[in-house]
Amino acid sequence: MGQKYAVFNSEGFPTAFYDSEIHTQIPQDTVAITDEQWLEFISNQGLRKWNFQNNQVEIFDQQSIITFDEKKAQIIAQIGLITSQLLQSTDYIVLKIGEVLVDGQDIKIMTTQYEKQLEYRKLVRTWVANTKAAITAATTMQELEAIDLTNYPQES
C-alpha cells in the first residue's frame, strides 16, 4: 500500500482519505497518516478524531457532547445551587417573618430589624432573574459559556 492521507474538519473528524497508490493528485490540506491510523478511522467511523497537537488518533466519546439546550439546563441548575447557598444564611429570617404573619402580628418591626438581610435576598433574586434572562436570550454556545456565574451579590 501507498502513503495514506486524510483531510480533517476543524473538530478533527476525517472528511476524506487518499492513498498515493490510488490517487494521482493529493490535495494540499491533507495530513499524512499511517495505515494503522487509517484503519482506526475506517473501523470506528464517527468514534475517532484527529488530535492536531500530537498528530494522533484519539477516541471520541459521544457521551461528552452536550447539546445547547442541555447546556442551558445545566447552567440553570447551577444557578439553583448557587442561589440556595447564597440565601441559606438568611433563610431563618423568612421563617421568622412567616411565623409572625401566621400569628397575625404586624411584620413591620421584623422587616425593619432585618432590612439589610432582606435587601440582600432581593439582590440575589434580581441576579437570578437577570442571569436566567441572559441564558434564555443566548443563541450560541459561546454566549452561554460567557455567562459569569461568579458575579453574584456578596453578603455584607
Q: pLDDT tens digit string along 94-125?
A: 999 999 889 888 889 889 999 999 999 999 99
Q: Are residues 8 and 27 in the same domain?
A: yes
User: 104 and 44, same structural domain?
Assistant: no
The answer to whether residue 82 sits within a structural domain is: yes
* pLDDT at residue 142 tops 80: yes
What is the value of pTM for the model shown?
0.59
- Whether residue 52 sits in one domain with residue 92: no
Q: Which domain holds residue 107?
A: 68-145
pLDDT at 62 over 80: no
- Exposure b/e, 62-97, CB count within 10 A at least 16 = b: eeeeeeeeeebeebeeebeebbeebbeebeebeeeb
Tell me which of 64 and 33 has the higher pLDDT. Answer: 33
Choose among 57, 53, 54: nearest CA to 4. Answer: 57
Q: How far apart are CA 2 and CA 38, in angstroms?
A: 12
